[in-house]
Structure 1
Amino acid sequence: MPSPLSHGRIFAVVRRIPPGRVATYGQIARRVGRPRAARQIGYALHRCPPGLPWHRVINAQGRISLPADSTAALTQRRRLIEEGVIFVDGRIDLARYGWDDSRAD
C-alpha cells in the first residue's frame, strides 16, 4: 500500500509552476511519485496555504475543474488571464502553456 500523500510535497511542486504556465493534476501526482493520485492533488489544493499558486493547476483536458459559475473558478480564470494565459472555448492549450516540469529540479 502506498504511503499517504504529503500535502507539503504537493505544495512544494505547485510553488514551482511559473507564472503564465499551468500543470495538470496528473502531472503534479507524477511529480510527487504517485501517478494515480490526481484526485488527491485536487483534495490537497482545497487546503492550500495562502500564496500558493493553486490557480495554475488544471485538468488534463486543459480546463478548470471547478464548477464554472463558482467564485473559485472565476478567480482561477481571472488569475490565469492576468498571467497571460489564453482560453479558447474554455480550454487552455497545454502545448503552449503547459509547464515543462522536467527542468523543475
Structure 2
Amino acid sequence: MRYLLTLHMNPTLWATLTDDQKNAVYEGHGAFIKLVTESGEMVETKALAEPAETKTIQVENGVVQTKTGGFVESEAFLCGYYVVDVESEERAVELAARIPDAQYTAVEVRKVVHEG
C-alpha cells in the first residue's frame, strides 16, 4: 500500500528554532531517506517552494484567474512530501513519526487511492 506523508512548515515556528535544531531536521531527513531507501519502502520525495513562489490558478466562467500564493490562506504551508510503499497503515504512521519535522509540526499520513 502506498501512503503520502505530507510535511507542513510554519515559518514563525521555524524562526524560533536554533541553528542546531534546524541542522538536526536537515540531517534527520538524510537519515530518514536512507532508512526508507534501504528498506525498499521509498517511492518518491519532493521539497516544495514557499507560497511566495507559488501560483494558484482558478477558472471562473472561462476566465483564468491567477494569484501569487497558496490555495489555503494560512501561515503554515505544504513544504514537501514522501511517498512510501509499505505493508500497512501502522508502518506508514511509524515512518511518519520518524520524520524530523514531526517533532515541531504535524506530518499527515494519507493512503494513495489512485495513481495515473
How would you bin the TM-score normalised by the shorter chain? under 0.3
Greater C-alpha radius of gyration:
2
Q: Which has the higher helix share?
A: 1
What's the TM-score once normalised by structure 2's chain length?
0.24
Q: Which has the higher strand share?
A: 2
Q: TM-score, normalised by structure 1?
A: 0.26
Q: Which has the higher contact order (CA 8 A, sep 6+)?
A: 2
